[in-house]
């Protein structure tokens, strides 16, 4: 089971060294549920990532309620897989407008990721966030 965003934030605060934080990100990625092969499609691939990243979105619609989005995904890189898990802690299971309104970059900055990720990984992380927000906008438009 994936930890909540609050648990991740608390755990990051307990870890002083960046090597420990990277190891924690890798652990988060290892805890992700495996993505089935049939979900590793070109349509699910996130563009703008140096590593391969897949994002599979499920939209839950209930009459009279805003759509809620659930995500599953994977990456071929250990740290990136941890970043995928972090993104899911931020966004998965949330209503579409909450996803759109959430400032993930502020959360990444709070965790210190903006200073400690390579420019390629930072760009990939932004691409993943934009993809998630795009999925939320599409779910609202189809509602």
Taking CB atoms within 8 Å and a gap of at least 24, the contacts of 86-89 are 86/8, 86/25, 86/28, 86/111, 87/125, 87/128, 87/129, 87/132, 88/2, 88/32, 89/2, 89/3, 89/4, 89/5, 89/8, 89/28
Question: Model confidence over 70-84: pLDDT tens digits?
Answer: 999 999 999 999 999
Find the domain containing 56 and state its range: 5-142
Query: Does the annotation count 80 as an active-site position?
Result: no
Q: What tens digit of pLDDT does each residue of 50-107 get?
A: 889 999 999 999 998 999 999 999 999 999 999 999 999 999 999 999 999 999 999 9
CATH number at residue 127: 3.90.1010.10
Identify the active-site residue in 49, 80, 83, 86.
Answer: 49
Count structural domains, the chain: 1
């Amino acid at each position: 089971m994936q930890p909540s965003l609050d648990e991740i934030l608390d755990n990051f605060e307990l870890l002083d060294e960046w090597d420990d934080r990277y190891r924690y990100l890798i652990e988060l990625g290892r805890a992700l549920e495996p993505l089935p092969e049939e979900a590793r499609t070109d349509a699910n691939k996130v563009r703008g990532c140096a590593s391969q990243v897949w994002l599979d979105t499920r939209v839950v619609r209930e009459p009279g309620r805003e759509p809620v989005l659930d995500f599953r995904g994977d990456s071929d890189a250990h740290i990136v897989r941890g970043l995928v898990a972090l993104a899911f802690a931020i966004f998965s299971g949330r209503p579409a407008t909450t996803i759109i309104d959430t400032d993930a970059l502020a959360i990444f900055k709070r965790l210190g990721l903006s200073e400690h990720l390579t420019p390629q990984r930072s760009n990939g992380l932004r691409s993943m966030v934009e993809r998630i927000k795009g999925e939320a906008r599409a779910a609202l438009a189809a509602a």
